[in-house]
Structure 1
């Protein structure tokens, strides 16, 4: 259940045992004579998700109360297993630019496409013929010519020539079969129309026929839906002793702006989220025993930047669906294994 940042801070304060190493200890036998086995009810009570910042391209959120293996699995699935659509095959009918065919095709293949991956099926096999259910076709045909009547002293290529720059916005979707109806109002197109692909000069021409298909980031980075998917642990700054008034300004400057504030001649930890864990304060002997720098081992601060195929708030649910499907596959495999062992016995 989503909670506010204040709720999250209170949660951190009342659970000091969550400070320390990243590895989990919720399993029988870790503490002699004590049972710390995993509990679903306890997990539900401790789990917190809180969106801290949302923009059209990025999302920052907190995930609290899970083991590092779960947080890392979520990150890796977002990078490598959430499917997208990217250009997989290109037929070069003509390319008289100074850019080699392989380099130009590589650039075009990396262009993020605004197509809902859920609208296409996976290609049945690498050698199967393209079909309207698994392939989107784009054509790129651009020729550069000199503009008539331009002053000879003009140096700006945009004023001298037609189409001297080839942009992603010049890629035209070529619908086939029932795709015109299927994508009515949501035409497949590049995420950004102003990505420069190559430059041309009078007489030069580029003519490409491109096939876009569904894939995942583990096959090629062009299929990854995120530009950044990272997390870090929430810093936890503990003031063990009061900081003398004459050292408070110096203490405050040891941290990034906004982390430490001085209120009523007292040093206060205002916003530990802004701390970069630089440990600069430990360089000064006068602060050696007055402060302790820790991190909350199960409080993960995620930063995810979408490349445009998905809205950023859609990436985490899609990754969770994939994780759940993996768990279901494991359960089915175990059921079959136990069933076969029972029959053998």
Structure 2
């Protein structure tokens, strides 16, 4: 505990940002804090998702519940100006103009079969719409019709998976690879056994080198394979390599920022409750 108290403030180092995927290193941290951030990214952030669906017309072979579930799980872009479902005082099941957005879907197959996609969903606000217009919902045969009215509201991932902004929220220890050239005989067994190709032998050299440290899974197969004990794999238990990928409902860096903000709010609330107990 004393060592953790003396630890420098946590730092975040961005490694890469591609599409909806963000990779970063969390330094000067503990497993407890790293896991708290991971869980907060999944379940403690308000996002917009379809909360209630009214099926107006459906003469397809699929039950209403099946179609409703598929539509509700379609990721939507988040409008943070909406009052969260648990904080609005309107009391309406479908929400009000301050806490809900209405979306409609009207599809009909007349002369030939029609595939209904998420792009066919119409929203009354440009800020709330499917993140992709290519998600298939149902295929209508000739003469079949589907009319739906849906209401999207802001909620938390811990209530239902449809409000979870992440598809990946994972971390691992930052690997440490040490190679001892004076012990190595250049057999290359460690390189051959390394599945993620974290180490390699450069052309013209007989000793392995680290090619991609972050690719290392710390499986230690290379250590077990090396007959000369020339390689050592361990990890930094105060640094964590995070991979954060979102559904597109929010940018990954915004998810991270909101997750940390949610944790700070919880810590503050906990502190106030402790102070009240001390007063009593």
Mark yes or no: TM-score above 0.5. yes
2:77 equivalent in structure 1: 114
1:128 lines up with 2:92 in the alignment = yes
- In structure 2, what is the equivalent of residue 38 of structure 1? 5
| 2:53/2:68 contact within 8 Å kept | yes
2:116 pairs with one of 123, 148, 166: 166
> Which protein is richer in helix relative to its size?
1
CA distance in 1, matches of 2:231, 2:90: 59
Query: Counterpart of 1:99?
Result: 62
- In the alignment, is the contact (CA less than 8 A) between 2:181 and 2:230 conserved in 1? yes
CA distance in 1, matches of 2:58, 2:183: 69
1:241, CA displacement in angstroms?
6.0
Please state how far the C-alpha of 1:264 moved relative to its aligned partner.
4.0
Pairwise CA distance, 1:117: 3.0
Residues 110-150 of structure 1: CA distance to partner in whole angstroms, max 9, x if unpaired? Answer: 0111132343332447963421111111111111110xxxx
Change (3 A) 1:246 1:265: closer
> CA 1:272–1:242 in 2, change beyond 3 Å: closer, same or farther?
farther
Q: How far off its partner does 1:216 sit? A: 0.8
Which consecutive residues of structure 1, in runs of 5 or more, have no partner in the other structure?
1-25, 28-35, 147-160, 175-182, 341-345
Give unpaired runs (5+ residues) of structure 2.
Answer: none
Distance 2:69 2:272 in 1: 40
CA distance in 2, matches of 1:187, 1:79: 22
Matched, 1:68 2:31: yes
Find the counterpart in structure 1 of residue 109 from structure 2: 144
> TM-score, normalising length from structure 2?
0.90
1:250 to 177, 185, 189: 189
- Total equivalences in the alignment: 276
**Partner of 1:310 in structure 2?**
250
What is the CA distance between 1:282 and its match in structure 2? 3.9
Residues 11-50 of structure 1 aligned to structure 2 (within 5 Å): 26-27=1-2, 36=3, 38-39=5-6, 42-44=7-9, 47-50=10-13
- Residue in 1 aligned with 2:200? 260
Matched with 1:193 is 133
CA shift in 2, pair 1:315/1:224, >3 Å: same
**How far is 1:321 from its partner?**
0.7
Q: How big is the alpha-carbon RMSD for the aligned residues of Structure 1 and Structure 2?
A: 2.2
1:14 matched residue in structure 2? none
Of Structure 1 and Structure 2, which has the larger fraction of its residues in strand? 2
> What is the distance in 1 between the residues matched to 2:20 and 2:274?
40
Distance, in Å, in 1 between the alignment partners of 2:4 and 2:53 is 54
Larger radius of gyration: 1
Kept in 1, the 8 Å contact 2:175–2:214? The answer is yes
| TM-score, normalization by structure 1 | 0.74
